[in-house]
Amino acid sequence: MSQHIYITGLGMISAIGNNVQESLASLSHSKTGIGKINYLTTRYKDDFLAGEIKLSNKELADLVNDHNPELNRNSYIAMLAAKEAVQHSGIDTSDGLRTGIISSTTVAGMGKTEMYYKDLFEKNDHLDVLDTHDCGDSTERIADFLGNVDYVTTISTACSSAANAIMLGCRMIKNGLLDRAIVGGVDALSKFTFNGFNTLMILDKEWCKPFDENRKGLNLGEGAAFLVIESEEALKKRNGKALAEIIGYANANDAYHQTASSPEGYGAQLAIEQALQMSGLKPGDIDYINMHGTGTPNNDLSEGAAVKAVFGAHIPKFSSTKAFTGHTLAASASIEAVISVLSIQNGMIFPNLNFKTPIAELGIVPETTVVKMPVSTVLSNSFGFGGNCSSLIFKKVD
Amino acid sequence: MKKHIISYAHIKQNQVSVNGTIMFSAAPSTTLPEFLTELYKSMGISYPKFHKMDALCKLGILCTEFALKDTTFLADNPLNKIAVVLSNASSSLETDRRHQQAIDDKSNYFPSPTVFVYTLPNIIIGEIAIKYKITGENAFFVSEKFDAGLLVSYTEALFSEQTQAAVCGWIEVDNGAYEAFIFLTEIQENTNKNTNFKPLNQLTVIELYNQTIWTH
Amino acid sequence: MDALIEKLKGQIIEQLNLVELKPEEINPDSPLFGEGLGLDSIDALELIVLLEKHYGIKIEDPKDGKTIFQSIRTMAEYIKAQGKS
């Protein structure tokens, strides 16, 4: 790779904590954030568990210190995570360097739109809410909140969205279009999502069990996570400190089905192989894989097959952290990117909770307790509906 | 080595233009669902899955089909090196509304899994990938209006890595209003391949996008 | 049973948007998935919705669909066995 891309700031809010420090505490104590639904109003309140952020909309508004009625849960959590990442990195967006914000979301303002849905379409009331509905809006809100931003764009490729936002940031920096970028994703829980995933019958009524023979499906979660990434030059200019480096990324399409992954995980294999190729690493050089591992019968079987195909008999230590956070959809890849960096920084592999029995067809076993060991390289997988498969590789900074 | 646009198709106002020339025209009063069905029938293709798609995907598949027609694009480029880069303004809002209506109907609560699947804008990329067996990389951007600069700069960045060809464009459906513009671009070793090919840059894309003189 | 099969054909065509297919072209014994009608996993979920909407039958585990949705005849037999025809 011709140019280094450094990660210099992390920000995250999800069911396991309102910031990175709280998240690390939950992860290293094997403490899940998934539980009974307390904040979202839904007909499924007592039927399913969810990974909710433990704050009401009012509390979030207080934290952001903005009670503008146009804001919604999605924009609140995006603003909090983006702000944390920027403060963590220490960048000053008014120093003349070019800063971009690349965010991803699938539901955007759906949560608030659905609250007023009847009014909107029956009485034409609350039209201001419509302004916050489109996917691009939460990104613009972050930009307004942070100020002095040169470039803003929004990506929507389902559950791999945030990985693609990270990739786009890397590319824009490498191509000299930006000096640094705030990249990540956000999705707040909504009735829309709950009802939809329920029609697909892939929600587990109990805690999700990624890579377990008896897995029944996923738990939905919500969250936002952002990373500040910078070029080597930008980092040197301000004498900043790098937390880790992004050394490989790739995206491929499975070209199999709108929602189901191919049995052999073809798209996933392509993404992992091409990310490895870019990084210059061999499969044996990877210390830890943070899997997509949603806990659905289809994903885990397909992803496991892909990993076996690429790594053969020597599969690195791996886990899915979705049993901590729930599946946070467009935020999941950036949440897991933050977790990957935490893994490198703290020399810790976080466990795949709720695992008991290996999947018969695969026979692979994830880490089930916190493992303390030096971690230099992490592969993180994220796959989305529409056949979108992404892999990212993070490396410790020497 | 040059990056060329080899073909493009544009659908709006119930008309289809391929490489700047109008090839199909339906009455202005035709609704979008009627227009899409009429257009599908006119193409003489059999793809039963088409009828299960939402309007965004139907429009995207048809526009891509027109852009690919009479080209050797899929044969000339390795399928795992062809990227799909699409964008629009309204994401999947049209189908989001249908899903929302279904879940709001308390007395007749039967939300459809098929409808929910189409509440993601990038499903159109999945449909294109499935139909043409394209496994290269893909991205879907949500931007206020057709942004030639975004599509070109992103595709250029992809070309600097593993990608050799791309299906790019704009596919928008909202409240019955719609527009699709797809262009095919590829890296060519042999620059003399076809003199009609256009160079890939922002100005050319804008020019091609504005080229068609719509007759209604 | 034959009347139920005919009714099901129409309902399936409607639910799954099989607009290029006429009821008389569907063999009640040919497989719904794979070869036969070529339905996929999302169609199976739509059939579960169909059973609930038209026959008040609730299927909790999508895996149960595998046996019920082998063909239109097995679907009809299942509806009969549930006493919902």
Tell me which residue of C43, C68, C71, C70 sits closest to C58, measured CA to CA.
C68
Q: Using CA atoms, how far apart are residues A356 and A343, in angstroms rounded to an integer?
A: 23
Question: Are residues A25 and A171 located together in one domain of the fold?
Answer: yes
> Hey, CA dihedral for B157, A390, B186, B59, is it positive or negative?
negative
Question: Are residues A194 and A288 located together in one domain of the fold?
Answer: no
Q: Choose the closest CB to A199 out of C40, C41, C45.
A: C45
What separation in angstroms does the CA of C59 have from each of A191, B1, C63, C73?
22, 58, 9, 18
pLDDT tens, residue by residue, C33-51 = 977 788 899 999 999 999 9
Tell me which residue of A13, A2, A35, A3 sits closest to A236, measured CA to CA.
A3
Shortest distance between the Cα of C46 and any Cα of chain A, in A, equals 9
- CA nearest C49 in A: which residue? A199
Average pLDDT, rounded, for chain B: 94
Q: Which residue type does C51 have?
A: L
pLDDT tens, residue by residue, B48-66 = 889 999 999 999 999 999 9
Average pLDDT, rounded, for chain C: 92
pLDDT tens, residue by residue, A206-254 = 999 999 999 999 999 999 999 999 999 999 999 999 999 999 999 999 9
- CATH number where A99 lies: 3.40.47.10
Q: Choose the closest CB to C46 out of B48, B51, B113.
A: B113
Tell me which residue of B195, B194, B191, B172 sits closest to B182, measured CA to CA.
B172
Mean pLDDT over C2-31 rounds to: 92
pLDDT tens, residue by residue, B76-129 = 999 999 999 999 998 998 899 999 899 988 888 999 999 999 999 999 999 999
Q: Which of A212, A237, A262 is the C-terminal boundary of a domain?
A: A237
Question: Are residues A94 and A149 located together in one domain of the fold?
Answer: yes
pTM here is: 0.94
Tell me what ipTM this predicted complex has.
Answer: 0.93
Question: Are residues A166 and A281 located together in one domain of the fold?
Answer: no
Q: What angle do CA A393, A396, A397 make, to 5 degrees?
A: 120
Question: Are residues A253 and A152 located together in one domain of the fold?
Answer: no
Contact C48 A258 (CB under 8 A): no
Question: Are residues A330 and A374 located together in one domain of the fold?
Answer: yes
Which of B81, B101, B135 should be substituted to probe chain A, the one whose Cβ sees the most A Cβ atoms within 10 Å? B135
What chain C holds in terms of domains, given with CATH numbers, is 2-81 (1.10.1200.10)
Tokens of A7: 């990660």
Contact C41 A259 (CB under 8 A): yes
Q: Using CA atoms, how far apart are residues A166 and A381, in angstroms rounded to an integer?
A: 13
Is residue A14 a contact partner of residue A328, using CB atoms and an 8 Å limit? yes
pLDDT tens, residue by residue, A74-92 = 999 999 999 999 999 999 9
| Catalytically active residues of A, by annotation | 159, 292, 327
Chain B environment of C49 (Cβ under 8 Å):
110, 112-113
Mean pLDDT over B2-17 rounds to: 96
Chain A environment of B141 (Cβ under 8 Å):
153-156
User: With 80 as the cut, is the pLDDT of residue B192 above it?
Assistant: no
Q: Choose the closest CB to C46 out of B46, B48, B112.
A: B112
Q: Using CA atoms, how far apart are residues A242 and A89, in angstroms rounded to an integer?
A: 8
DSSP state of C39: B
Does any CB of chain C come closer than 8 Å to the CB of residue A195? Answer: no
Residues lower than pLDDT 50 in chain A: 1, 109, 111-112, 115-133
Question: Are residues A83 and A137 located together in one domain of the fold?
Answer: yes
Q: Domain B2-209: give its CATH superfamily.
A: Thiolase/Chalcone synthase (3.40.47.10)
Number of CB pairs < 8 Å for B and C? 26
Question: Are residues A85 and A195 located together in one domain of the fold?
Answer: yes
The 3-state secondary structure of chain A, one letter per residue:
CCCCEEEEEEEEEECCECCHHHHHHHHHCCCCCCEECCCCCCCCCCCCEEECCCCCHHHHHHHHCCCCCCCCHHHHHHHHHHHHHHHHHCCCCCCCCCEEEEEECCCCCHHHHHHCHHHHHHHCCCHHHHHCCCCHHHHHHHHHHHCCCCEEEEECCHHHHHHHHHHHHHHHHHCCCCCEEEEEEEECCCHHHHHHHHHCCCECCCCCCCCECCCCCECEECEEEEEEEEEHHHHHHCCCCCCEEEEEEEEEECCCCCCCCCCCCHHHHHHHHHHHHHHCCCHHHCCEEECCCCCCHHHHHHHHHHHHHHHCCCCCEEECCHHHHCECHHHHHHHHHHHHHHHHHHCEECCCCCCCCECCCCCCCCCCCCEECCCCEEEEEEEECCCEEEEEEEECCC
> pLDDT value at position B184?
98
Collapsing DSSP to helix, strand or coil, C33 comes out as strand
In sequence order, the 6+-apart residues with CB closer than 8 A to the CB of A101 are A82, A139, A142, A143, A146, A149, A151, A152, A153, A181, A182, A183
Q: Using CA atoms, how far apart are residues A301 and A270, in angstroms rounded to an integer?
A: 16
Question: Are residues A175 and A311 located together in one domain of the fold?
Answer: no
Question: Are residues A68 and A174 located together in one domain of the fold?
Answer: yes
User: With 70 as the cut, is the pLDDT of residue C27 above it?
Assistant: yes
Q: Which of A237, A263, A278 is the C-terminal boundary of a domain?
A: A237
Does any CB of chain C come closer than 8 Å to the CB of residue B114? Answer: yes
What domain count does chain A have? 2
> pLDDT value at position A136?
63
Residue B106 phi, psi (nearest 5): -65, -35
Range(s) of the domain holding residue A275: 245-395
Choose the weakest-confidence range: A115-124, A232-241, B32-41, C20-29: A115-124
- CA nearest C45 in A: which residue? A200
> pLDDT value at position A68?
85
> pLDDT value at position A127?
41
Q: Which of A173, A206, A237 is the C-terminal boundary of a domain?
A: A237
Question: Are residues A147 and A9 located together in one domain of the fold?
Answer: yes
Question: Are residues A23 and A72 located together in one domain of the fold?
Answer: yes
